[in-house]
Structure 1
């Protein structure tokens, strides 16, 4: 960890013009390079707005968003994204779905034709890393939801983003699959040189994965508190059965309940 990769400085974001909904107000956040940050808070608190501000999909009416030292005024190319529903193109194989960002990101698009073999090898290595070795030739409809989400993570990482934004990526999965994928993303973070921001409703997920958990207020959202998670890495799932882990989760739950009550 070193200098900050993401800085949100006193940001206001309103939807629907001057009289519209104020989604976030006075929002401040710093994410260090190499950090795994989780963002939690009540429903409708502006977590997804925060994601869109960092990726440059929304530009705030007030305040500054800086990513890798650059003031964000347009979509940010160093970001990979994965959402709750993996939007795999059904007519493309899993491998071709993973390679898709390389056709879009300018610096890779030029190299892709000449160095296709190199990129295919890289995609296959990523698929192997997430437990999908040999599934590259399958179509999305031949994969379970958990497998599609694994492929979705590979697609988000294929262009070597400095920053990976995860918006509720495991929310639609059953508990066992979700815990498997927590271990996958834990290992990806340890092995890839990537900074991760995870938005989640699942407090156990946040505490298991993150270095720091940022708690948001009810709308208009701002960061109320940042909790440093002190459990040593690499973390095993068994940590979730320790009293100290559950104390942290219950503490977060109480803070979010209080934030909702203020709304």
Structure 2
């Protein structure tokens, strides 16, 4: 399977030559259609990795390659979802979801002439995530979990090849978080989009991912790479099984050791 993302011996330093070295000798690959998770201690460079892949930062050393092109500017094939949905309060849920189409160049002109088609696509996404009929609601009329569901729709509306998730469920209660794990599991299965998830929640990583990268303390590099052995589709009851929790504990121990070694 071809790689959609390759990071090759990358160094990234903030603040000039004497500044903070965020990642050093960073190497990882994510295949097209794969679901990868990145875990590690706080400050290990997980957010830097996100910015490198999306072209928001260009490394001082090494190569970042996305869709067979070296990254030298912001990457247009990426959708992103963060912990804070940051929906515009004066726009309806549907209007918030359509917002990327007003920004992404290849959709901007077409939106004017094919708006009905895009609205239908947005409404299909809302139905998939359990928000059918909520397109006319404003963000303040939605719960936090509902806003995050809408946020996922917004990240997917322009049909990105790569979806980047940065702690997207961290602010939610445990039950809502597990519901959204199942939503993103089903979206991945239905759309085949490549996903990179940055998370502190090891259960989340093991439940969702095909492959998990464990990063070191700063400067960040990949200490270990694990293939998740559990067959898809995964039921939430998997999280109570011994083999699942054994893998979570193994990851926890690796991260604890990385913190001590810092």
**TM-score w.r.t. length of structure 2:** 1.00
Q: How does 1:77-88 map to 2 (within 5 A)?
A: 77-88=76-87
Provide the C-alpha distance between the structure 1 equivalents of 2:180 and 2:49, rounded to a whole number of angstroms: 23
Match of 1:107 in 2: 106
CA distance in 2: counterparts of 1:164 and 1:127, whole angstroms: 17
Q: How many residues align?
A: 262
Number of the residue aligned with 1:215: 214
Consecutive aligned runs of 4 or more in structure 1 exceeding 3 Å deviation: none
Aligned counterparts of 2:174 and 2:38: Cα–Cα separation in 1: 20
**How do 1:143-182 residues align onto structure 2 when only pairs under 5 Å count?**
143-182=142-181
User: C-alpha displacement at 1:110, in angstroms?
Assistant: 1.0
Pairs within 5 Å for 1:173-192: 173-192=172-191
Question: What is the CA–CA distance in structure 2 between the aligned matches of 1:10 and 1:20, rounded to whole Å?
Answer: 19
Q: Which residue of the partner structure matches residue 240 of structure 2?
A: 241
Alignment partner, residue 24 of structure 1:
23
The aligned counterpart of 2:53 is 54
Unaligned ranges ≥5, structure 2: none
Structure 2 residue matching 1:13: 3-state secondary structure: strand
Instruction: Give the structure 2 partner of residue 90 of structure 1.
Output: 89
What secondary structure, in the 3-state scheme, does the structure 2 residue paired with 1:136 have? coil
Deviations 1:75-103 (A, max 9, x none): 00000000000010000000000000000
How many Å separate the matches in 1 of 2:139 and 2:72? 34
Report the Cα distance in structure 1 between the residues aligned to 2:74 and 2:159, rounded to whole angstroms: 16
Q: Does 1:4 align with 2:13?
A: no
Deviation at 1:193, TM superposition (A): 2.6
